[in-house]
Amino acid sequence: MGLIFLGIESSCDDTAAAVVCENRAILASVVAGQTALHDDFGGVVPEIAARAHAERLDLCVEQALAQAGMRLADLDGVAVTAGPGLIGGVLSGVMLAKGLAAGSGLPLVGVNHLAGHALTPRLTDGIPFPYLMLLVSGGHCQFLRVDGPADFTRLGGTIDDAPGEAFDKVAKLLGLPQPGGPAVEAAARTGDPRRFALPRPLLDRPGCDLSFSGLKTAVLRQRDALVAAQGGLHEQDRADLCAGFQAAVAEVLAEKTRRALALSPVPVLAVAGGVAANASLRAALQAVATQAGADFLAPPLRLCTDNAAMIAWAGIEAYRTGQRDGMDLAARPRWPLDRDAAPMLGAGKRGAKA
């Protein structure tokens, strides 16, 4: 079976533990969401998230081990998200992982959460390097050329909001439930994407950078104009705004992906992050990949959104390249994945803000 790793993830609002084998078998994957805890606040409250992680992490690990039918002694290592993310949550995970490693004598491997997402296609489909990863989630949006387990080149990314964040904010301003992505996608099904003229931010500029905050503001303006003119929003207004917003996001992401593939041709375009669940975005990306002569790969949704299987897998990949962390492994709120910065960042020499 090869190496077997426990993975621990607690960087945002999902508490997760998983047991993954080097042969790509996921022996267990437990994800405990916190949506209900944050519902009343319209977003993730870091302090509430941190406490919930601290309360649940050990139970998630116990459950994952039970599901896999294993004890710590049966494992070969413990991998944990050491950043980037909400620092209280990351700390909870790192402290637990250190405790487990110290108590069991297992090696400890600190994993970059983004590397977890970026390496997921190797876990799900065993694809070779290189490939292009479009990471689109509630907190992240970037194009990464992946050439090795620790060899990432960022070709571009958002200069403001992440697309998932924009979906969430649009849902909020239209009175739809959180998380906003699925709600906006559902509303968009009966909407006319051409009714409202919404911007296509940064399409006029070269390169692969993206921006979503102006698009969200444009939706807000249209909403306010409708409310002022007719005293409120009709169901159809909501549907049309959602459809228009979603079409703009898909169009901009597709065009920037086309540029990224032109800039750095690779055989496979892969996507990860919660927004990868969006069907119209998937269709647009599939078309771009086909045009560029690349395969399109979208891992199953449960492995696209935050989970610990991807952390265990990234831990195995890092361990195979010789990475071992000690009890001084730092939890880091920021931790870019760029190839140039990777060696120093891996050693934690740049401090928390790097």
Binding residues (CB under 5 A) for Zn ion: these are: 137, 306
Q: How far is the CB of 96 from ligand KG4 (least distance, A)?
A: 20
Q: Give the distance from CA 238 to its chain's centroid.
A: 27
What is the C-alpha to C-alpha distance for residues 6 and 23, in angstroms, rounded to an integer?
14
By beta-carbon proximity to Zn ion, the closer residue of 56 and 238 is 56
167 binds, among Zn ion, ligand KG4, none (CB under 5 to 8 A by kind): ligand KG4
Q: How many CB atoms lie within 10 A of CB 321?
A: 10
| C-alpha 334: how far from chain center | 14
Tell me the residue number closest to Zn ion, measured at CB: 306
Is 147 flagged in the annotation as binding? Answer: no
Nearest approach in angstroms of CB 164 to ligand KG4 is 3
Among residues 305, 250, 322, 343, the alpha carbon closest in space to that of 117 is found at: 305
138 is known to lie in a ligand binding site = yes
Minimum gap (Å) between residue 121 Cβ and ligand KG4: 15
Q: Residue 277 touches which of Zn ion, ligand KG4, none (CB < 5 to 8 A by kind)?
A: ligand KG4
Could you say which DSSP state residue 110 is in? E
Would you tell me which residues interact with ligand KG4 (CB under 6 A)? 12, 137-139, 164-165, 167-168, 179-182, 185, 273-275, 277-278, 305-306
Minimum CB distance to Zn ion, residue 336 (Å): 15
Cβ nearer to ligand KG4, comparing 284 with 292: 284
185 is in an annotated binding site: yes
Lookup: tokens for 68: 């896999």
39/340 with CB nearer ligand KG4: 39
Q: Annotated binding residue at 135?
A: yes
Q: Find all residues with CB under 8 Å of 268, minimum gap 6, and list them.
A: 121, 127, 131, 132, 294, 295, 296, 297
CA angle (165 as vertex; 159, 168 as ends), nearest 5: 150
86 or 345: CB nearest ligand KG4: 86
* Annotated binding-site residue? 234: no
Residue 315: which of Zn ion, ligand KG4, none does it interact with, CB under 5 to 8 A by kind?
none
Q: Flag whether 110 is marked binding.
A: no
**What is the nearest approach in angstroms of ligand KG4 to the Cβ of residue 180?**
5
* Shortest reach from residue 49's CB to ligand KG4, in Å: 12
Question: Where does 184-294 show beta strands of DSSP type E?
Answer: 268-272
Q: Measuring CA to CA, how many Å separate 231 from each of 139, 173, 219?
A: 34, 15, 17
Q: What is the DSSP letter of 331?
A: P
Q: Which two tokens stand for residue 165?
A: 């964040």
Residues 36, 39, 40, 41, Cα dihedral to 10°? 130
CB of 253 to ligand KG4, least distance (A): 11
Please give the Cα distance from 220 to 223 (Å, whole number). 5
**β-strand pairing of 268-272 with 295-297:** parallel
Q: Closer CB to Zn ion, residue 243 or residue 276?
A: 276
Say if residue 78 carries a ligand binding annotation: no
Q: Which of Zn ion, ligand KG4, none does 110 bind, CB closer than 5 to 8 A by kind?
A: none
The answer to the question of whether 137 is labelled as a binding residue is yes
Q: Which two tokens mark 177?
A: 């439930």
List the alpha helices (DSSP H) in 69-130.
87-104, 113-125
Residue 113 marked in a binding site: yes
Show binding-site residues: 113, 117, 135-139, 168, 181, 185, 278, 306
Residue ranges of the binding site for Fe cation: 113, 117, 306
Residues annotated within a binding site for substrate: 135-139, 168, 181, 185, 278
